[in-house]
Structures are given as C-alpha cells and as structure tokens.
Amino acid sequence: MQVKLTVNGEARSADIEPRLLLVHYLREHLGLRAANVGCDTTSCGACTVLLNGRSVKSCTVLTAQAAGAQVITAEGLGSKDSLHPVQAAFRQEHGLQCGFCTPGMVMAATSLLAENPNPTEEQVREGLEGNLCRCTGYHNIVRAVLAAAQAGGGAAPPAAGGGAGQEAGQ
C-alpha cells in the first residue's frame, strides 16, 4: 500500500506492507537509526518518536497509521552543529551512559516539556515513566530535563519543523 507522511520535515511516499511498524520503516527504509527497538512490547520507550508533536512508541504504531502525519526522530530534533535545547542539556548534564535509551528519552522529554514547560522533578520522573534506562542512570536524565526546561526547551521547535505539542494533520 502507498502511505504519504512527513519525516523530519521531508515529505515521504512509501510503498509498504500494511504490517510494517513505524520503527522498522524509520530504521530500515529511511536509515534513521536513532529510534531503537528495545523491548518491542510498548514498555521500554527506546523507540519513542514524535507523531504530530506527541511522544509515541513507534514499535506499536503501524506506518499506515502515520499516514498524513508529521514524524520527528532524534535526527530531526537538532543537528550536530546546533543541538536542540533538550539534546544540549542531556550532553551538559551527562544524561546518558551506554546511550541506548537516550534517543527515546530525549524525544519523551521533548514531548513532556511541550506539554508542561516548567515541570517539577516529580513531574519529570512521572513523565518519563514510559522510558527505561537499564544503566539506571535516571538521576542525570532527570537533571538534564530540568536543565532543558530552564533553558526554555519546551518552547523550542524541532529543527525539522512539526512543532512539539501541536496535533497537526489529525
């Protein structure tokens, strides 16, 4: 089947099997490998991307369900030369250890800050309950999200457009 969607600001037309999961489309068809397949059961959040500005687990979304939608992955959030405030805060606060959960954490945090630009520490911890870090490096991750909030990360749109927090195209 044919599906049209926008990924990191680029219009895409995909000829796919209906059963193709969004995470596999991103990784295998587009070569965007930031979203990881961790648990593959909607638990760990390593595959988190923004769908119309809201965090979703792309292992549990069909590519077909994203027809007409805007998808943003960590690749589209900022660039190496110009990190998104949430990415910059993760680097600054060392909000990562092995790095496997990091793209999902960053996307979940971006969605969280778009909905609540000034969260308390408790709200950050609850807001990231859908993302697991098996290095257990949560303290610095939470610190990074709070630092990103202070830096105004909630208001910063992804470099690739498709502003977080807006349900465009629904």
Q: Which is nearer to other proteins, 68 or 91 (CB)?
A: 68
SS3 string, 38-60, reads CCCCCCCCCCEEEECCEEEEHHH
Alpha carbons 25 and 148: distance in angstroms, whole number: 30
Binding-site string for other proteins from residue 9 to residue 48, where x marks contact by CB under 8 A and - marks none: --------xxx-x--x---------------xxxx-x--x
Binding mask 69-98 for other proteins (x = CB under 8 A): ------------------------------
Q: Which is nearer to other proteins, 79 or 170 (CB)?
A: 170
Cβ–Cβ < 8 Å for 125, 137: no
Question: Could you say whether residue 141 binds other proteins (CB under 8 A)?
Answer: no
Please give the Cα distance from 72 to 64 (Å, whole number): 16
HSE-up of residue 107 (Cα within 13 Å, Cβ side): 30
Residues in contact with other proteins by the rule CB under 8 A: 1, 17-19, 21, 24, 40-43, 45, 48, 51, 54-57, 60-62, 64-65, 67-68, 108, 111-112, 127, 129-131, 170
